[in-house]
Amino acid sequence: MAETLCQLSEQNFQEEVLESPIPVLVDFWAPWCMPCRMVAPIVEEIADKWSGKVKVCKLNTDEAISIAQKYGIQAIPTLIVFHQGREVDRVVGYVPKNQIEAKLQPLISK
């Protein structure tokens, strides 16, 4: 796993995501989910490419059920973009890298 990826839990979600000074991409996933495994290398590439501009984190929905419920995660993978403590966009399912980056681009241009 990329060094630039942040691992989330119920204990650090508030600090790492909601209080982050930069935009955060959260990958809601589970180890048994095949589409999650397919999107993982893309998420790692984005973490490396956008390091310092966007924080990229992974949250295992099997281990942090209450957070997954709070954000209405009904299918995984779900990628949610947070900015200034609020959800600003989301993508559900496997999508190409350029579609994910298109969600992030406007936030780092500001």
Q: Which of 5, 8, 24, 33 is catalytic?
A: 33
Q: Which of 5, 36, 43, 104 is catalytic?
A: 36
Q: Is 6 a catalytic residue?
A: no
Q: State how far the Cα of 56 lies from the Cα of 27, in Å rounded to an integer.
A: 8
Q: Is 33 a catalytic residue?
A: yes
Instruction: Indicate which residues carry an active-site annotation.
Output: 33, 36
